[in-house]
Structure formats: C-alpha cells, structure tokens
Amino acid sequence: MSTLSRAHGRLHMEGVDLAHLAEAVGTPTYVYSAGHMRSRYARLAEGFSGVDTRICYAVKANSNLSVLSLFAELGAGFDIVSGGELQRVLAIGADPSGVVFSGVGKRADEIDFALKAGIGCFNIESASELERIARQAHNLGTAAPVAVRVNPDIDAKTHPYISTGLKANKFGVPIDEAMALYRWAREQASLRIIGIDCHIGSQIVDTDPLLEALDALLALHDALTSDGIEIEHLDLGGGMGVAYQNEPDFDVQAYGRSVAQRLAGRDVAVHLEPGRYLTANAGVLLTRVEYLKRGAEKNFAIVDAAMNDLIRPALYQAWHDVLPVEEHDAAQERWEIVGPVCESGDFLASGRSLALKEGDLLAVASAGAYGFVQASSYNTRPKPAEVLVDDDAYRIVRRRETVRDIIALEQEALS
Ligand code: LLP
C-alpha cells in the first residue's frame, strides 16, 4: 500500500483516513507511516546487499522511541550524537555494541556513559577529543573502540547549513592529519582502532560526492594498512537525499553497486548512518486552517502549526508539499501558509495554489525527518502529538505536550 493516497477525495496514510485521525487526536500532529519506513530500510539494505553492511539509523532525524524500536526490529544499529540519544536507544533495549557515537562536542560524562554502556564505536572529530577519550577509557580501565572522522574537503552540493565535509566546516579531522592521529592512537592501551569515518553532509541527491569521499577513505585505508594499522569498518555516514518537490530520489542501488565495486578485494565492512532517507517521506504534519486573511499583496492561510513545530522552511528555505486532506470545490488561490508565531519568518510554505476554506485540514508532507525533533515550545506552544500508522491502525506514540508540562520546571522554582 502506498504511503499517501486519496480515496473518495480524502487523504489516507496507508489504510488510515487522516481526517478521522485529526478528529480523534487533534492538530497539529505529526503522523508517520511504519510501512514506509520498513520499505525504505528494505530498499537500502537491498541496494547494499553486495557489501557487508551495518545500517546505523541516525537517531537525530526522528528519535521517537517507537520509531527507534521499529528500526531495531529490522536489525538496525544506531548513530547517536549525545548522551540523551544514547539513553533513548538504551530505553528501547537496543544493543549498545551496534551504536556509533558521532559529534564534535562529546563531554567527559557522555564519554563515560557510552564506555560503561559498551558503545560500538566513537567517531572522533579532533585530536583533543581522541586524547580525552583515551584518558576517560584509561580511568575506567577499558579500551575505547574508535574511528577517526575525516574531513575530505568535498563539496556535497547541498544547503550550506547541512554541508559538513568542507575545510571550512567544524566537522572531522583534515584527511591529511588523520594518519598522525591513528599512529598516536595505536600507542595507547586505552584505545582500540576499528574504523575510518566520514559524513560530508545531508540531503545529497547525487552519488558522486559520496563516492569521491569513499575514494579518499580508501586511500587512507591503504596507507593505514601499509603502516600495519588494521581497520574493521569504513563508516560512509548518512546524507542520502529524498524527494521533497521534484528532486530525483537518491539511487541507493547505484550507490550500493559502486561501493561494492570499490571494496572488491578488501576485507572491510561498511557502516551507513542514514536518517532522512529512512524517515523524511514517512511523515506528514497535520494542521488545521484557523483563518483566511486576504491582503492587497498576499493571501495568508493562518494554520495551527508554526515554525516552532516545523522549522525547516524558516531555517533552510526548505520546500514541503502542502496537501488538502479533504478536497472541495472552493476556487484555487495563491496562499502563504503561515503559523500563529509572532515573526514574519513563521511560514510553512509560500505561494501555493490551493482551494481553501477556514477549518480545512492540511498535510505538510515530507515531515518525518528533522520535523518533531527540531520542534520547540516557542511562544509557549505545546509540542505536537506524534502518531504511528501501521496498515489500517494507528497509535499515539507521543502524547501532545500540555502547557502544564512546559511550565512545570519553572513552577517548582517559584518562591
Ligand atoms: N551522521 C552524521 C554524523 C550526521 O551529522 C548526520 C546528520 C547524519 C549521519 C544523518 O544524515 P542524513 O542521512 O539524515 O542526511 N536539520 C537538517 C539536517 C541536519 C543533518 C545533520 N547531520 C534538516 O532539517 O535538513
């Protein structure tokens, strides 16, 4: 069954009527398709079937515990970037040895937490971090499994805020400095070298920059091997793009095939850290039109979701399709889809041709990745509920936040 379809003019996710769901759960609400996430995972696994691959789902894209459980059941490991994300994967009973820990700013307490949990690998982003991890592991009487995240200075040709593999970015170790780190690490009893890591950016639609990065990793792999340093895995990061508007869908088959060709003859496994590819098009944000406000220059549809619920349009000028949940015969007009937040940057979509009436329900598409996870309570707006659809059933997987939840931490401080 396809993720979104229309029956009798009404939008469905899998077998669930989204208007009924909105009636029952309220708006704004994030709704995710379990079927979509499973089929994306299967497609990626199939694309890489020629390679010994571990898919480490990037928790940051959508960290709902029920989403993490779904991927754990499919056999995924996880890519985390904080102690908080580690607590999430432990909360669903995932095996910590299948978890990789990325991020430029790992605190000592987070490193200790990960070491005690038995983390699979630390992806190291600087010489100072490598030293800190060696020290913390030494103090705990253990050896930390490490991979150096190299920055290959490759342009991922994506939005500058989500490009990470250029010299100008804060991420990784310049690739020509990596060898010295590996040689230093080899001498430390509290470090165990296991991999090489790289992640050049997100929403990459073409395989070329990713393969260029892989070639850089392979050259380093050769240099390490000749130096007697053994590597168990190459972590190629995430970054595989999705179609938001009319971009071609990222070709995982071609990517997987090219990776397999390049790895022929090498005894090394591959880790992938996909987030968006697995979840973006699994999700919609359901919102209701509160007011229609026609102006001299622009028409505004003021909806009950805002930039605090979905910040991607405001932050990255991102495009999200806006679909009417129930079709009717009002005239098509051009609309700015905006929220109630007191900022002119508060928009979900701009200049969309839609037939709208007050009270209509809209589905903001491709909202399953970097949607809810980036939500805030700005303007003291409770965060949306999250719902997981599976075939013709659905389940609330995070209850709607209440104002009581938001103010509780301050109320206890009132004198
Ligand atoms: N691995 C690392 C080390 C990362 O930094 C990221 C994403 C991923 C994996 C997953 O990348 P993906 O497969 O999802 O492209 N908030 C932005 C996206 C930020 C991505 C940050 N890092 C957005 O809404 O577009």
pLDDT tens sequence across 281-312: 999 999 999 999 999 999 999 999 999 999 99
CB-based contact 184:232 (threshold 8 Å): no
Nearest ligand 1 atom to alpha carbon 315: 24
Residue with tokens 């209509």: 360
Which residue of 276, 319, 348, 374 sits with most ligand 1 atoms within 8 Å of its CB, as the best mutation to test the pocket?
A: 276
User: How far apart (Å, rounded) are the C-alpha atoms in residues 129 and 107?
Assistant: 9
pLDDT digits (tens, 9 = 90+) for 228-252: 999 999 999 999 999 999 888 899 9
Which of 57-61, 162-166, 253-257, 294-298 comes out lowest in average pLDDT? Answer: 162-166
Query: What residue ranges do the domains of the chain occupy?
Result: 4-32+280-412, 103-272
Q: Is 345 exposed, middle or buried (0-12, 13-18, 19+ CB in 10 A)?
A: exposed
d(CA 227, ligand 1 centre) in Å: 33
Confidence band of 316 (pLDDT split at 50, 70, 90): very high
Nearest Cα residue to atom 9 of ligand 1:
238
What pTM was estimated for this model as a whole? Answer: 0.97
* Mean predicted lDDT score pLDDT of the chain: 96
Q: Which atom of ligand 1 is nearest to the CA of 241?
A: 15
3-state secondary structure (DSSP) of residue 351 = strand
Q: Are 106 and 129 in contact (CB under 8 A)?
A: yes
Residue nearest to atom 16 of ligand 1 (CA): 370
Does the N-terminal peptide bond of residue 313 adopt cis geometry, omega within 30 degrees of 0? Answer: no
pLDDT of 1 > 70? The answer is: no
Distance CA 295, CA 389 (A): 38
Of 56, 121, 198, 342, catalytic: 342
Distances (CA, A) of 243 to 281, 319, 365, 375, 383: 8, 10, 11, 22, 26
* Cβ atoms of residues 97 and 76 within 8 Å: no
pLDDT band at 118 (very low <50, low <70, confident <90, very high): very high
Residue showing tokens 């903001």 = 364
Gap from CA of 217 to ligand 1 centroid (Å): 20
Answer yes or no: are the C-beta atoms of 133 and 124 closer than 8 Å. yes
Of 202, 372, 374, the one to substitute when testing ligand 1's pocket (max ligand atoms within 8 A of C-beta) is: 202
The CATH topology of domain 4-32+280-412 is Lyase, Ornithine Decarboxylase; Chain A, domain 1 (2.40.37)
pLDDT for 323: 98
| Tens of pLDDT, residues 88-109 | 999 999 999 999 999 999 999 9
Considering the chain, what percentage of its residues have pLDDT values greater than 90? 92
Query: How far is residue 339 from each of residues 22, 133, 161, 287, 349, measured CA to CA in Å?
Result: 18, 44, 23, 10, 10
Report pLDDT for 181: 98
Query: Per-residue pLDDT for 127 more than 90?
Result: yes
Distance, in Å, from the CA atom of 218 to the CA atom of 262, rounded to the nearest integer, reads: 8
Spatial distance between the Cα atoms of 82 and 249, rounded to a whole number of angstroms: 30
Q: The domain 103-272 is classified under which CATH number: 3.40.190.10, 3.20.20.10, 3.50.50.60, 1.10.3860.10?
A: 3.20.20.10
Per-residue pLDDT of 349-394, as tens digits, reads: 999 999 999 999 999 999 999 999 999 999 999 999 999 999 999 9
106-117 mean pLDDT: 98
Per the annotation, the verdict on 121 as an active-site residue is no
* Ligand 1 shell residues, CB under 6 Å: 58, 61, 79, 102, 162, 199, 202-203, 237-240, 273-277, 312, 316, 370
- Rounded distance from Cα 149 to ligand 1 centre (Å): 15
CA of 239 to the centre of ligand 1 (A): 6
Minimal CA–CA distance to 205: which of 255, 260, 272?
Answer: 255
